[in-house]
Amino acid sequence: MGLFRKFINHTRKPEGFLGKLMVGGMNSGHSKLADWGMSVLTADKPKEILEIGCGGGRNAGELLKRFPQAKLTAIDYSPVSVEKAAKTNRKQIEAGRCAVQQGNVTKLLFSAGRFDLATAFETVYFWPGLEACFGQVARVLRPGGVFWIVNESDGTDETSLKYEKLIDGMKCYTAEQLESALRAAGFAEVRIKHHPEKPWIAVLAKKP
């Protein structure tokens, strides 16, 4: 495996020196996509937010700005990401508004119905067993809770499909595949927004 392929494989689970380099670029590299996603998605003043696959932690901070009444728990299964996200959100952690911890979407260790909003920015590509993972998210959301997914790929663009072949365990989903898995996991209402010029998609799913 060449150096470039080794490096981009750290998008899945950043580890070691190359993983630290990858996480270091995530906050700026994904910012435009994340900001667009937040601009087209809605949530009704959540009090408890779960940010899944928090990466470098930039989006956790933006969510806390957007919802000043909320507290947020950010999780990632990469210790490198957890360390970076904690540093990025140090002030919010000290203020008691944010917690950053290691966790895995395949088994969310939170009580049922705890969160009002769950988010997943540029991460569902790597979730094993999409319907089961979505079921975990649904479980920890309260009735009426909202799940946001924001992806750079709509599952059809050439660039992302090329990276899908290079990055182990990556799967780019179409909007239809995401909606099907969300509904199978128990979400009743699914709304999808497409960027007018890019293959970006933002998905809002509501728990009944």
For the entire predicted model, the pTM comes to: 0.91
Helix, strand, or coil here: 64? helix
pLDDT of residue 29: 64
CB 135 within 8 A of CB 185: yes
Task: Tell me which fold the domain 3-206 belongs to.
Answer: Rossmann fold (3.40.50)
Q: Mean pLDDT over all residues of the chain?
A: 89
Q: Over the stretch 60-107, which tens digit does the pLDDT of each residue have? A: 999 999 999 999 999 999 999 999 999 999 999 999 999 999 999 999
H or E element: which one contains 59? helix 58-66
pLDDT of residue 159: 84
CA angle 86, 15, 161 (to 5 degrees): 105
